[in-house]
């Protein structure tokens, strides 16, 4: 079974992001970039399926600038077999990304496509669902357990206040939640081996996809700064302030 995993290059989760002075977006100059954490979980799940003998080949795909090759090489070091970069320096919205992923799905014909549930930069949580609509494949979102059984995949989903298990006919799309697995670290020998694994570079044009955006970001603002705290002289004063000023008791 061939598994396709979509990975996004995003600002590292440890970075405290700065908003550009003109509020047009986030300042990416000299900022550490990494694989989106939910995509790391997606790669890990694919690698575990291969270790169990369920998956025969793992192809990782990223859509983004030339530098996204770094994240693809990381995925190759973690156990993926082959990588595809759809190179674009434009800021693409989710529908454009989903259309490009659909073109890669048509080309690669995977039985299972694994994506993160959400990219931590845009917090869109929609690419997997859009890909589901474009391909017509069954989808299991927010997966905390994935089990392939014959021509089906059982996905346990984290839903409000509980878990739901659904059986999807293959080919299917799964998006990963935080508790699906704990991703491994790449070992040095595997990082070296990954340099020799195949990495194909394609363009949206070559895939016949137009990426014109129907969404425009108007403004990005930093959260309002917190006002300074105060010291109170007694418990009575604290209770009075909690009651009458903060109105929380």
- Tokens found for residue 35: 């694989």
Rounded Cα distance, 193 and 187, in Å: 10
Please select the residue that binds ligand AMP; options are 39, 76, 112, 202, rule is CB under 6 A. Answer: 39
Please select the residue that binds ligand AMP; options are 69, 118, 139, 141, rule is CB under 6 A. Answer: 118
Please select the residue that binds ligand AMP; options are 4, 63, 146, 153, rule is CB under 6 A. Answer: 63
- Helix then strand count (H, E) for the chain reads 6, 11
Rounded Cα distance, 139 and 133, in Å: 9
125 binds ligand AMP (CB under 6 A): yes
Q: How many binding residues for ligand AMP (CB under 6 A)?
A: 22
Stretch in the footprint of ligand AMP (CB under 6 A) among 6-14, 71-79, 144-152, 209-217: 6-14
64 binds ligand AMP (CB under 6 A): yes
Identify which of residues 156 and 175 has a Cβ nearer to ligand AMP in the complex: 175
Please select the residue that binds ligand AMP; options are 36, 139, 156, 211, rule is CB under 6 A. Answer: 36
Identify which of residues 174 and 194 has a Cβ nearer to ligand AMP in the complex: 174
Rounded Cα distance, 107 and 135, in Å: 12
Identify which of residues 39 and 58 has a Cβ nearer to ligand AMP in the complex: 39
Alpha-carbon distances, residue 137 vs 58, 80, 204, 207 (angstroms): 19, 23, 22, 20
85 binds ligand AMP (CB under 6 A): no
Q: Which has the closest alpha carbon to 92: 171, 221, 6? A: 6
Phi/psi at 35 (5° precision): -75, 135
| Shortest distance (Å) from residue 175 CB to ligand AMP | 7
Q: Which residue, chain included where needed, has tokens 């990219």?
A: 119
- Tokens found for residue 95: 């529908």
Rounded Cα distance, 8 and 219, in Å: 23
Please select the residue that binds ligand AMP; options are 126, 139, 141, 181, rule is CB under 6 A. Answer: 126
Residues that bind ligand AMP (CB under 6 A): 6-8, 36, 38-39, 42, 62-64, 94, 97, 115-116, 118-119, 122, 124-128
């Amino acid at each position: 079974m061939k598994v396709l995993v979509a990975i996004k290059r995003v600002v590292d989760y440890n970075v405290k992001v700065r908003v550009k002075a003109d509020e047009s977006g986030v300042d990416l100059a000299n900022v550490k970039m990494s694989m989106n954490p939910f995509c790391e979980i997606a790669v890990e799940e694919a690698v575990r399926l291969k270790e169990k003998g369920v998956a025969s080949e793992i192809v990782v795909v990223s859509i983004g600038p030339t530098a996204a090759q770094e994240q693809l090489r990381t995925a190759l070091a973690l156990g993926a077999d082959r990588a595809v970069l759809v190179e674009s320096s434009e800021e693409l919205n989710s529908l454009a990304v989903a259309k490009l992923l659909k073109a890669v799905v048509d080309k690669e014909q995977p039985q299972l496509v694994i994506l993160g549930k959400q990219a931590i930069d845009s917090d869109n949580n929609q690419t997997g669902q859009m890909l589901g609509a474009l391909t017509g494949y069954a989808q299991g979102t927010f997966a905390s357990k994935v089990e392939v059984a014959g021509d089906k995949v059982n996905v346990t989903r984290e839903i409000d206040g509980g878990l739901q298990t659904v059986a999807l006919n293959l080919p299917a799309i799964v998006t990963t939640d935080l508790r699906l697995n704990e991703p491994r670290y790449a070992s040095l020998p595997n990082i070296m081996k990954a340099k020799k694994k195949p990495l194909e570079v394609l363009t949206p044009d070559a895939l016949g996809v137009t990426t014109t955006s129907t969404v425009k970001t108007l403004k990005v603002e930093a959260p309002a700064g917190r006002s300074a705290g105060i010291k109170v002289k007694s418990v009575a004063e604290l209770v009075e302030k909690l009651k009458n000023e903060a109105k929380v008791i």
